Amino acid sequence: MAELAGVKIEKLQGGLGRKNPSTDSHVALIIKATGNAALDAIISNAGKGLILTSLSQAESLGLTLSASANGASPFYEHISEFFRLAPEGTLYLFNNKTVANLLAFIKENKEIKGFGIVDDFGAATQEDTIAQYQSGIINVLATENRLIDFGIIGWNNFNVANVIDLTELDAPQISVLVVGSGTSTFAAVGAFLGMLAVRKVNENAGSVDIQNKPLEKRGSSDYTLTDKNKGLWVNPKLTGGATISSLTKAQLTDLENKGYIYAASYEGYPGAFFTNSKTCISQASDYCFIENNRVWNKAARTLRIALLPEVKGVVKKNPTTGFIKSTTISRWTGIGNKALEQMVTNDEISGFDIYINPQQVVNSTQPVKIKASVVMDGIVHEFEVALGLTNSIN
């Protein structure tokens, strides 16, 4: 037996640069009660909700097409559409949309980044319902340092006569979906959540193509909603029943300008796509698109986690001025840089800058102030091409 150590070897961690899997695609779907007590108990899971990673898992629990067709909630298409479009996503299913219960459910599931609600707006309660979810859930969670990227509300029984201007509201994380797949007319919340979950945080939900396609779609030049074999999204409809193709250009433009999300096709190009990812706030806001909120939230989470180990730590001072020592400033800046560099590596932002003013006095009542800026990628919404005929190219 060897009794003298001589040399001690310490096992280090982190040299391979491995990261935990991203939870950007973890989203929640809030449905109505199914009408089946046994299924409702499974979904509720004593208020914790049900975590699904595949359609087959849902079906094995009894969440089948026939159960959906015979119940009070058309949940199956939402679940199946989510996993058709985001096969590697994670869906948290819950069946109680009251603010108190929904808040408790989201707090229970720390990885949820956004939610979608299958809802019916009453004509006089649209603004109130939007404000309720923004202020009662998203804003409350933000005060607890829990950032929710988006809340999607599906407006069933919508028609163009009921239009309110969503851009006049103050709900920067809430979006309203008013379209169904065509095989049904309820708001396709599951499909929209799938199209968000399959995208990176900086991508628009209406992009014709996506950066990272699921394996079976990698030979395609786009990522459409349409599946002709299943009859999905061949002729999408507003949830009130009107086909998108039956609406005038002026009506569709009005919906777009007022912040609604629907799906349509481009002339001469196959497939249907969501029109945009607008939120219920002025178009002058920095946070009027879902991708703006997703990028800001991810950067904020990343910086917070990176800096937390420094909290209550010792701060060396310049003995002459009493301000923070330059070496400490450099270390903190380096921590922030390392955190945000990962978002650049992931192609989620174009760049960033972090600045800490060294002329700060640190004590229990004076927080260290850091200025951080991230450069959002642009989103091309339209091309304008000047095309003409010529006899020769000079």
pLDDT digits (tens, 9 = 90+) for 170-225: 999 999 999 999 888 899 999 999 999 999 999 999 999 999 999 889 889 999 99
Mean pLDDT on 250-272:
96
Of 57-66, 145-154, 365-374, 378-387, least confident by mean pLDDT is 378-387
The mean pLDDT value of the chain amounts to 92
Long-range contacts (CB closer than 8 Å, 24 or more residues apart) made by 213-217: 214/86, 214/87, 214/88
Query: In the chain, which ranges are E strands?
Result: 26-30, 50-52, 90-94, 114-119, 150-155, 174-177, 179-180, 237-238, 260-261, 263-264, 273-274, 351-356, 370-375
Contacts (Cβ under 8 Å, ≥6 apart) of 32: 72, 73, 95, 97, 118
Highest mean pLDDT among 126-130, 335-339, 366-370: 335-339
State the pLDDT at residue 351.
96
State the pLDDT at residue 109.
97
pTM score of the predicted model: 0.92
State the pLDDT at residue 122.
57
Residues paired with residue 11 on neighbouring β-strands, in sequence order: none
- For residues 382 and 117, the model is more confident at 117
Percentage, residues of the chain above pLDDT 90: 77
State the pLDDT at residue 191.
98
Residue 15 has pLDDT above 70, yes or no: no
| Pairing outcome for strands 263-264 and 273-274 | antiparallel
Phi-psi bin for 322: left (phi > 0), alpha (psi -120 to 50), beta? left
- For residues 362 and 331, the model is more confident at 331
Q: Which tens digit of pLDDT belongs to each residue from 81-116? A: 999 999 999 999 999 888 999 999 999 999 999 999
Q: Phi and psi of 371, rounded to 5°?
A: -105, 120
Yes or no: say if 207 and 217 are a contact pair by the CB < 8 Å rule.
no
State the pLDDT at residue 248.
95
Q: Return d(Cα 126, Cα 129) in angstroms, integer.
A: 5
State the pLDDT at residue 1.
55
Percentage, residues of the chain above pLDDT 70: 95
State the pLDDT at residue 131.
93
Instruction: Output the DSSP codes for 24-67.
Output: TTEEEEE----S-HHHHHHHHTTTT-EEES-HHHHHHTT--HHH
Mean pLDDT on 374-387:
86
Q: Which tokens hold the place of 239?
A: 């949830």
Mean pLDDT on 21-49:
93
Which 3 state secondary structure label does DSSP give 254? helix
Q: Measure the N-to-C terminal CA separation of the chain; round to a whole number of Å.
A: 87
Q: Which tens digit of pLDDT belongs to each residue from 265-315? A: 999 999 999 999 999 999 999 999 999 999 999 999 999 999 999 999 999
